[in-house]
Structure 1
Amino acid sequence: MLFLLNILGILVVFGLVFLCSPNKRQIKWRPILSLIIVELLITWFMLGTTIGTWVINKIASFFTFLISCANQGISFAFPSVMANPSVDFFFSALMPIIFIITFFDILSYFGILTWIIDKVGWVISKVSGLPKLESFFSLQMMFLGNTEALAVIRQQLSVLKENRLLTFGIMSMSSISGSIIGAYLSMVPGEYVFAAIPLNCLNALLLASVLNPIEVSNEEDIVYVPSKKERKDFFSTISNSMLVGIRMVIVILAMVVGYVALTAAANGILGFFIHGLTVQKIFSIIFSPFAYLLGLSGHDAMYVAQLMGIKLSTNEFVAMMDLKKHVHSLPPHTVAVATTFLTSFANFSTVGMIYGAISSIMGDEKSSIIGKNVWKLLVSGIAVSLLSAMFVGLFIW
């Protein structure tokens, strides 16, 4: 019965997203069905075979290496901070952006990144039905945070039309960063974290093609390569990359501080009228039906709904720390779907981070497309997390 409820959940979530689509007639159904089949195969591969986990671990180790390189630079400037076992969000998640952007800009300078985007994007686009750049972005955001991933392809984004730019904003809600995988693994089972990573990317592609279906001609479906006139010398390029990185860090930090503070203010106002009422509790009530559609019942459903509310209104770290306390007393299915749902950056503050990243890269005029479509970003982020959890839930009981 619960298994059937899990399947029903997939249909309900997808149906609700379909109802939210402003251009239903433009949706391409064949690529969507192909993505669903690929997701089922990947879920089985990740959770049913040892080689699947090995592959993802190897990919993750590369991005962890990049973060460790970034941390060496941060440690040189802030040795006392980085020596602290509990490193602040600013240093652990934001400061590495400076090195990550510089590293990938070097790859772009020598034409390596543009070649990868073109070839890898072509392969994924054959399955997803989306253009090469969008397809590559889905792969890239498996281990780069949304802001880093957007910064890496900022030269490509600068020549896109607004409707395509919105697709990247929608997809960015479902990314994670390789720098925090280790933190995730210290709190929740690793197999579900690594299963969630590729599923989130494919579901982001799937839902972006429903919420923002677009037609891209063959002439537009190209990877932008800067002309010789636009290219600076090598050292000017990497110096500029570092300056772009620090500007992004400052903008994103302002957005995160502001959104978390607004949530605290909202909780204070709600508590003034009704004792104990918070934004988190309101969202847990709203999400309780979806918790049941994850194949849960009774106390487990209400507990996972509470975790959903915590994640959306604050972040996944707070929710994972709570789940860590109960992970050994909960059934395997509950742990699997809860962990998978929590493994992404989808929350209110992430919207601010995406807006801030695009604003710092391309200015306020182009970033306004994100501000006008915040609801699409939130719908996508929540729906992606739900679908990924539901796919994993099919295989763990």
Structure 2
Amino acid sequence: MYFLLNILGIIVVLGLVYLCSPSKKEIRWRPIVSILIVEFIVTAFMLGTNIGAWVINKIADFFLWLIECANAGIAFVIPSFFANESLDFLVSALLPIIFVVTFFDILTYFGILTWLINKVGWVISKISGLPKLESFYSIQMMFLGNTEALAVIRDQLAVLKDKRLLTVGIMSMSCISGSIIGAYLTMLPAEYVFSAIPLNCLNALLIVSLLNPMTVTKEEDIIYTPPKSEKKDFFSTISNSMMVGMNMVIVIAAMLIGYVALTAAVNGILGVFVSGLTIQKIFGVIFSPFALLLGLPMQEAMYVAELMGTKLATNEFVAMVNLKDQLQTLSPHTVAVAATFLTSFANFSTIGMIYGSYNSLLSEEKSAIIGKNVWKLLVSGIAVSLLSAAIVGLFVW
């Protein structure tokens, strides 16, 4: 029964996005079917085969090694942080970001990450039949995050038509950043984090094909490559990367403190009117139908629905910290669904980051396309997370 509900959930999500589409007649179904087939193959490989499990473990070991390297730097500067048996969230999840950002920027500097993104983007473009830029961007934002990925293609954005600008904005809701994966691994099982990453990439392409379908001419289907003259020297690059990483740590920490405090304040106000009422419970009711369609029993569905709402209203870290404490008490299917859903940046604050990026990179007139279509970004972010969670859920019981 729960398996059938899980399948129904995929159909319902796709159906709701289709109903939201203002351009139903322009939708091309072949790319959508192709993407879905690839998603099932990728998920079955990663979660259903020994080779897939080995690949995930090796990737996880690599990121854990990055965290160990980062901890060596942290321990040198602040050794007292490691004197406690249990590390604070700041030390275990946030401070390692400084080194991980630097490491990925080094890969980009020497063209290794750029080469990987280009090759995989080309493959996805062939599979999906979608434009090269959008396929390229879906891979790029998987490693770089939305604001960084937007900055990389800023010259291409400047010449895009409004509809393609909106497409890139919609896709940006479903990104993740390689620099943040280490933090996720301190809270969630590695197999679901690394399953969610490619699924979010593919589902971003799928959902935008429904929500904002378009046709691109051969002349328009190009990818901008920055000239070598824009390249800085190596030490300036890594120094800047370290400062960017530190800025990310401060921003994430500030958002976590602020959102958790704000949630506590809102819950206190709600409790004055209705005893025991919290914003998590309100979101739990709103998202509970979707949680049930992910094949969850009622009690666990309500808990996962609360996590969904918490992620949307605050960010994924707040929800992940909550889920981490409950991993041993939940069924494998529930853990898989919840962890996969949480692995992305889709929330209200991300909309603000995307609009801010457009506003700083483009003219005010062009960036207005995001402000006019906030609902599309929100629908896309939720739908991609739900689809990824539903597909992973089919393989874990």
Residue in 2 that maps onto 1:86: 88
CA distance in 2, matches of 1:359, 1:75: 39
Residues matched between the structures, number = 391
The residue type equivalent to 1:146 in the other structure is G
How far is the alpha carbon of 1:7 from its aligned partner?
1.0
Residue in 1 that maps onto 2:350: 350
Contact 1:151 1:361 in 2 (8 A): no
Residue in 2 that maps onto 1:16: 16
The residue type equivalent to 1:181 in the other structure is I
CA distance in 1, matches of 2:285, 2:251: 33
The residue type equivalent to 1:9 in the other structure is G
Deviations 1:339-377 (A, max 9, x none): 222222222223233334444444655443333322222
- Kindly tell me: are residues 331 and 229 of structure 1, through their superposed partners in 2, closer, same or farther at Cα, counting changes over 3 Å? closer
Correspondence list, 1:140-155, <5 A: 140-142=140-142, 144=143, 146-147=145-146, 150-152=147-149, 154-155=151-152
Q: Which deviates further from its counterpart, 197-206 or 179-188?
A: 179-188
CA distance in 2, matches of 1:115, 1:190: 25
Contact 1:280 1:313 in 2 (8 A): no
Correspondence list, 1:1-397, <5 A: 1-59=1-59, 85-86=87-88, 88=90, 91-92=94-95, 95=98, 99=102, 102-103=105-106, 106-107=109-110, 115-142=115-142, 144=143, 146-147=145-146, 150-152=147-149, 154-160=151-157, 161=160, 162-227=162-227, 266-267=266-267, 269-362=269-362, 366-397=366-397
CA distance in 1, matches of 2:257, 2:364: 20
How far is the alpha carbon of 1:224 from its aligned partner?
1.0
CA distance in 2, matches of 1:38, 1:114: 23
RMSD, aligned CA: 3.7
User: Tell me, what secondary structure is at the counterpart of 1:173?
Assistant: helix
How far is the alpha carbon of 1:34 from its aligned partner?
0.6
CA distance in 2, matches of 1:256, 1:369: 29
CA distance in 1, matches of 2:207, 2:314: 23
CA distance in 2, matches of 1:44, 1:62: 22
How far is the alpha carbon of 1:11 from its aligned partner?
0.6
The residue type equivalent to 1:119 in the other structure is K
CA distance in 2, matches of 1:79, 1:215: 56
The residue type equivalent to 1:346 in the other structure is A
- Kindly tell me: are residues 100 and 7 of structure 1, through their superposed partners in 2, closer, same or farther at Cα, counting changes over 3 Å? same
- Kindly tell me: are residues 73 and 140 of structure 1, through their superposed partners in 2, closer, same or farther at Cα, counting changes over 3 Å? farther
- Kindly tell me: are residues 121 and 325 of structure 1, through their superposed partners in 2, closer, same or farther at Cα, counting changes over 3 Å? closer
Q: Which deviates further from its counterpart, 74-83 or 6-15?
A: 74-83
CA distance in 1, matches of 2:63, 2:323: 26
Contact 1:97 1:249 in 2 (8 A): no
Contact 1:151 1:357 in 2 (8 A): no
CA distance in 2, matches of 1:81, 1:369: 46
How far is the alpha carbon of 1:212 from its aligned partner?
1.9
The residue type equivalent to 1:37 in the other structure is I
Contact 2:174 2:201 in 1 (8 A): yes
How far is the alpha carbon of 1:175 from its aligned partner?
2.6
User: Tell me, what secondary structure is at the counterpart of 2:14?
Assistant: helix
Contact 1:70 1:100 in 2 (8 A): no
How far is the alpha carbon of 1:313 from its aligned partner?
2.1
Contact 2:56 2:190 in 1 (8 A): no
- Kindly tell me: are residues 225 and 277 of structure 1, through their superposed partners in 2, closer, same or farther at Cα, counting changes over 3 Å? same
How far is the alpha carbon of 1:30 from its aligned partner?
0.2
Show structure 1 runs of 5+ residues with no match: none
How far is the alpha carbon of 1:26 from its aligned partner?
1.8
Deviations 1:317-348 (A, max 9, x none): 33333333333333222222222222222222
CA distance in 2, matches of 1:219, 1:247: 39
- Kindly tell me: are residues 16 and 100 of structure 1, through their superposed partners in 2, closer, same or farther at Cα, counting changes over 3 Å? farther
User: Tell me, what secondary structure is at the counterpart of 2:156?
Assistant: coil
User: Tell me, what secondary structure is at the counterpart of 1:158?
Assistant: helix
Deviations 1:44-68 (A, max 9, x none): 1111112113334445555666677
- Kindly tell me: are residues 55 and 73 of structure 1, through their superposed partners in 2, closer, same or farther at Cα, counting changes over 3 Å? same
Show structure 2 runs of 5+ residues with no match: none
How far is the alpha carbon of 1:288 from its aligned partner?
0.7
How far is the alpha carbon of 1:10 from its aligned partner?
0.7
Contact 2:104 2:178 in 1 (8 A): no
CA distance in 2, matches of 1:164, 1:382: 20
How far is the alpha carbon of 1:284 from its aligned partner?
0.9
CA distance in 1, matches of 2:242, 2:366: 23
CA distance in 2, matches of 1:241, 1:363: 27
Deviations 1:190-238 (A, max 9, x none): 3222222222221111112212222222222212123577667777777
